[in-house]
Amino acid sequence: MRSVFLIALCVLALALAAPPQEKGIIINLDNGELCLNSLQCKSSCCLRSSGVSLARCAPQSAENEECSKKSLYGTYYRCTCESGLKCEGDLSIGGSITNTNFGICRDPKSS
């Protein structure tokens, strides 16, 4: 947690030091850049592989790929679906708490 805080501080310092550019430092982040919340990413998915790993912006899941339902955590273990797609899977209370409401992206029209 402390390291995350430290990184956040560094990012903030950099953002204040650097002049505004097209490419974001805090928001509008490209894929592969470190993030703390999905709102920062251009792709609106801030992905982490495990609970302790760092999160990076990643492309959203395409149809038939694994996905997470939208959550309040801000980061995901699987990205949310691209527009027009629905993440079909179980929605459980346990899953909501542990951020593991996984599913598969499907087109609601074609099924």
The residues that touch other proteins, with contacts defined as CB under 8 A, are 7, 10-11, 14, 23, 25, 29-34, 54, 56, 59-60, 62-64, 82-85, 107, 109-110
| Three-class HEC string of the chain | CHHHHHHHHHHHHHHHHCCCCCCCCCCCECCCCECCCHHHECCCCEECCCCCCCCEECCCECCCCEEECCCCCCCECCCCECCCCEEECCCCHHHHHHCCCEEEEECCCCC
Closest approach, Cβ 62 to other proteins, in A, equals 4
Cβ proximity to other proteins: between 42 and 74 the closer is 42
Q: Which is nearer to other proteins, 12 or 97 (CB)?
A: 12
